[in-house]
Structure 1
């Protein structure tokens, strides 16, 4: 079962400088509108073919995110199948991040 992480939990991990790898699985157009700083864009439909590009620096938690948290669940499941052990999906996606954490990130 795919682990989920709330935007508040992610915010606290980032604030504490815990190792986190932010993986945006939306489309390039969505990424241009709004993105979490420091995230890597690999669209969900390219994830299986490009998974080797993920450089999570050992023990970093890979947090997949999308617009509302649906595609990121699929992405996290794919990554787990490919052998990544520390993976989570961001509940509510970047939209929840914009609402609850950083209003400067545009909503769409």
Structure 2
């Protein structure tokens, strides 16, 4: 079983390697308009129960992100309980991504 969390460095390395992962951003629309990572699937946390089975592959690998990592941990736990076993939370969220990986991503 995958660890519940993965680091921004691990996510970046996997994206650079071309690994097939879905980056799921569960922040609200205004947050995504403020700061985002190209290529993410955006489903606000509150919309996820209605959309998960239609928009996500239960066998696929999913990395969930939010602002600081709290919402994404909750979503990761919920998704795993729904059968999305290959789901992880990106520790530190987009804030950590901006600090470590891409300083052009605005911090808020």
* TM-score normalised by L of structure 1: 0.92
Name the counterpart of 1:63.
63
Q: Is the 8 A contact 2:79 2:87 kept in 1?
A: yes
Name the counterpart of 1:36.
37
Runs of 4+ displaced beyond 4 Å = none
More displaced 10-residue stretch of structure 1: 66-75 or 45-54: 45-54
More displaced 10-residue stretch of structure 1: 63-72 or 73-82: 73-82
Name the counterpart of 2:47.
46
More displaced 10-residue stretch of structure 1: 2-11 or 48-57: 48-57
Q: Gapped runs of 5+ residues in structure 1?
A: none
1:83-102 equivalences under 5 Å are: 83-102=83-102
Q: Is the 8 A contact 2:58 2:85 kept in 1?
A: no
1:57 to partner: Cα distance: 8.6
How well do the aligned residues superpose, as a CA RMSD in angstroms?
1.7
Equivalents in 1 of 2:102, 2:68: separation in Å?
15
1:56 to partner: Cα distance: 3.9
* TM-score normalised by L of structure 2: 0.92
Give the paired residue count.
Answer: 107
Are residue 7 (structure 1) and residue 8 (structure 2) matched?
yes
Q: Gapped runs of 5+ residues in structure 2?
A: none
1:44 to partner: Cα distance: 0.8
